[in-house]
A and B are shown apart, each in its own frame.
Chain A
Amino acid sequence: MKTVMGTAINVLRKTTGFKPEKRATQHGPSMIKLENVTKAFDGQVVLDKLNLDITTGKITSIIGPSGEGKSVLLKHMIGLLRPNSGVVVVDGEVISAMRGSVLNQAREKFGMLFQNAALFDSMTVFENVAFPLEEKTRLTKEEIRDRVREALAHVGLKGVDKKYPDMLSGGMKKRVGLARALLLNPKIILFDEPTTGLDPIICRAIHQLIKDTHRRFGYTAVIVSHEIPEIFDISDHVAMLYKGQILEKRTPKEIQRSNHPVVRQFISGSLEGPIRLVT
């Protein structure tokens, strides 16, 4: 494993001039680091030499207009997408150069809550949450049952074990998704628009849940969201993605006082400004 990583890093060093920080990053400020990441689909550039640091143990939110590649950015962090150029370093390891079982090993640090929760629709809620435990641990049935009930209780769900995902509301699906993501105590949890399509009360409840579970488990969180200004209440850092680049990454207070015209227009929701609906 170490040899493979060493070779990968050496190749990257020679080809891109990139110098990943030593293993000390594991305890350093950056849990995820994106360096000059470029990604294009069918010639259309979505991420353009993007640089971003995600601080260990903090909640970082990524905001930006729809279709700007926020979900694409998130998928690069967990290795679901590979950049055309640049590197993605997670916990001191270059995830963008990994494949196969090495990549799977790196992914064990992650949990991910998808936009539509991505629950397995042929399984009950219990089976959905129990699935990673059944496949990746040697726990007994009783232990799995207890762990699943505990995880569901953490997200405020009881008595839904036997229901199928299509019998749940949007908010409940997200909670089940969060329970599943939390189950293996990951170091990092990625949230892809966790509150999109939910009413304001459920939206606030989900945000509160993220904050509570973050406090309890201490994971590093990356949230892609459109919920402004609500997202500022739970975030430690907010990064604005526009035209394939991170314009600013600051604390919520700082970003609300930003002088950058794009950031100001996006936060105020104004129709006037550099962001055009039709380009």
Chain B
Amino acid sequence: MQPAFSGVNSFPIPTLYNPSILSYNKKPLICINVVEVVLLALVDKLGSLTLGLLREMGSMLNFLVYAIYKIITRPGKPIHIYKQIHFIGAKSFFVIFLTASFTGMVLGLQGYYTLAKFGSEGMLGAAVALSLVRELGPVLAALMVTGRAGSAITAEIGIMNITEQIDALRTMALEPIKYLVAPKIIGALIAVPLLCAIFDVVGIYGGYLVGVKLLGVNPGAYFHEMEKSVAWKDVYSGFIKSISFGIIISWVCCYKGYHASRGAEGVSRATTSAVVMSSVMILIWDYFLTSVLL
């Protein structure tokens, strides 16, 4: 669709392009018009970008609402959902384990030297656990799932789109959103919070390894302070975050794949865009949720 206002073409001062007026040698007028034309082109570009953005946002929201409607009214066969939980969850286990352990270890290291300045190394367990449970666990687990499973989801649906496999589903009178998108959203909704839980536990033990085994913090103090400081609210706010991140990842990645076009390059562009957009949305949404849940 053309934007409502299309800049230089529709604005009635095309003096610069009119040779008959140029021949009058009205130089100052031409200079003014150059500025006007450039400004108009800028406004035009800005307008079309804004309209494009609004259209994309509307289309994405529509996609999500329709997928949720399908999930509620006609949930697919459980086997499709199990497959997605396995793909998004079980297959991401190793990368989550690795990331979580090193994050916990770094937190243990950094936390120990910072807390040592105040003579409160015993608080290390609380510091590591709170950082992980409230913030780093949900966010980093979601970012890792985006990189590993989200990109694969976009590429899979994108390739199905450009090779007419989605059209093939339609010709069989089967609803692509129900078969392709709904199971992935449910799968992510279940798998991401579980991965977040694994991230938290592994991270806490990573911090324990460095803090207690390497730097000599008292193990009793490590766990005691943790138990004292971490409240149920910290845990459930982390889970609320990871549930919403699961929706964001599956929604954005499925949408981008579903609308991929123009061959292999289109799919690669869609994949990049899905990963970038999911990651940015996770971070922005994290800020809003944190400010609400605090």
Chain A positions within 8 Å of B, measured between CB atoms, are: 75, 78, 80, 104-105, 107-108, 110-112, 114-116, 118-122, 131-132, 135-136, 184, 190
Contacts and interface: CB of A to CB of B under 8 A. Distances in A.
A120 B175 CA distance: 15
A80 B170 contact: yes
B171 A107 contact: yes
Interface range, B side: 10 to 19
Contacts of B35: none
Interface in B154-193: 156, 159-160, 163-165, 167-168, 170-175, 179
Nearest to B159: A121
Most buried by A among B159, B165, B175: B165
A269 B192 CA distance: 59
A226 to B, nearest CB: 18
Contact of B167 (A105, A114, A136): A114
Interface string B245-287: 0000000000000000000000000000000000000000000
B172 to A, nearest CB: 5
A107 B163 contact: no
Nearest to B175: A104
Contacts of A108: 173
A184 B179 CA distance: 19
B171 A116 contact: no
Nearest to A106: B173
Given A114-B164, A116-B163, A121-B165, A136 B171 contact: no
Nearest to B80: A135
B246 to A, nearest CB: 22
A135 B172 CA distance: 10
B168 A114 contact: yes
B173 A105 contact: yes
A80 B171 contact: yes
A104 B178 CA distance: 13
A136 B175 CA distance: 11
7 contacts: A112-B168, A114-B164, A114-B168, A121-B163, A132-B172, A135-B77, A135-B172
Contacts, number: 52
B198 to A, nearest CB: 27
Contacts of B174: 104, 132, 135-136
A151 to B, nearest CB: 14
B164 A136 contact: no
B69 to A, nearest CB: 11
A116 B163 CA distance: 8
Contacts of B170: 78, 80, 107
A184 B159 CA distance: 26
Contacts of A105: 173
A220 B172 CA distance: 17
A121 B159 CA distance: 10
A104 B74 CA distance: 14
Contacts of B175: 104
B173 A118 contact: no
A78 B165 CA distance: 15
A118 B172 contact: no
Given A112-B168, A114-B167, A135-B179, 7 more contacts: A78-B171, A104-B175, A110-B171, A111-B171, A122-B156, A136-B174, A190-B171
B9 to A, nearest CB: 14
Contact of B171 (A112, A120, A122): A112
A182 B76 CA distance: 24
Contacts of A122: 156
Contacts of B164: 114-116, 118
Interface string B195-219: 0000000000000000000000000
A75 B171 CA distance: 9
A110 B159 CA distance: 24
A33 to B, nearest CB: 19
Interface in B128-163: 156, 159-160, 163
Contacts of B173: 104-105, 107-108, 110, 136
A80 B172 CA distance: 11
* Chain A CB within 10 Å, residue with most, of B160, B164, B172: B172
Contacts of A132: 172, 174
